[in-house]
Amino acid sequence: MKALFLCTALLLSMPLHAAQLLIDLGSGSHAWQTQALLEHPDVRDITIRDDVSYKRDMHYRAVPLASLLKGLKAEDHLQAVALDGFAAELSAAPLLERQGARAWLAVEDPRQPWPALAADKPSAGPFYLVWTDPAAGHISPEQWPFQVTRIQRLAPVAERFPALRPAPGLAADDPINQGFALFQKNCLACHRLNGAGDSQFGPDLNLPYNPTEYFSGDFLKRYVRDPQSLRRWPQAKMPGFSSSVLPEAELDLLLGYLRHMAGRKQP
């Protein structure tokens, strides 16, 4: 029994293993190891106020994401894939900014592991996309993917998934298309629609029913703002979208897109 106790204690005291992050920008991929990132010439100690995942101030060793995206253009599109199937769709332009809202890749040091996200969950590591001054860029919670394993350059969402597109013939600045852009930013990391999307995380938002078909009045808005105010259970994962992240006018545009797509079901 004593030997078993000592063995268990030794295992618990051992540091986490180093990890690998694959970055594929289309012209070749690079596999970054934990230690190489911790020794990157641009690595910094940063403080994130009111961290989205930990709900408190956090301190990280992090590399500006722009330093890892050499050759990427502002009009390019990226996807960050997490270990649990979360797939964040990210426009390149905000990731390349070096002022205002700035994206960083936080790197978990195996010798100094981060705290667990909850009692029965691991940490946000080994790699976590965090932002300084996120309010300056209206950065949504879905743009903070944690446990990231791969970042890849892909074609825009509308090209990859035609089933997500609004009706043809709408002007680029039509409110429905504006809502489609907001859907990509805020919803597609977790949800599919018409079976289209890469995430394996949340339910489809059009099949068999669109939420605009069964939420009456302002209940859908309330659900987006504070999911557990309507449906409370310990395993709930959907974050609330405050008005500072998703202003009321943008929420109206997003719901307009969903109502539109309720009439465009594609099994």
pLDDT digits (tens, 9 = 90+) for 223-248: 999 888 877 766 667 878 888 888 99
Both 149 and 177 in one domain: the answer is no
Looking at residue 236, its pLDDT comes to 64
Q: Using CA atoms, how far apart are residues 85 and 9, in angstroms rounded to an integer?
A: 32
Both 23 and 140 in one domain: the answer is yes
Which regions of 65-126 does DSSP assign to beta strands (E)?
A: 77-82, 87-91, 102-107
Looking at residue 170, its pLDDT comes to 95
pTM: 0.80
Looking at residue 216, its pLDDT comes to 87
Both 86 and 131 in one domain: the answer is yes
Write the single-letter amino acid at 83: L
Both 20 and 133 in one domain: the answer is yes
Both 26 and 147 in one domain: the answer is yes
Cβ–Cβ < 8 Å for 246, 140: yes
Number of domains in the chain: 2
- The domain of 208 spans 160-262
**Mean pLDDT across 138-148:** 91
CATH at residue 91 = 3.90.420.10
Both 123 and 39 in one domain: the answer is yes
Q: How confident is the model over 87-109, as pLDDT tens digits?
A: 899 999 999 999 999 999 999 99
Angstrom CA distances, 43 to 39, 65, 152, stand at: 7, 10, 21
pLDDT, the chain, mean: 89
**Mean pLDDT across 7-28:** 67
Boundary residue ending a domain (111, 134, 154) = 154
Residue 111 lies in a domain: yes
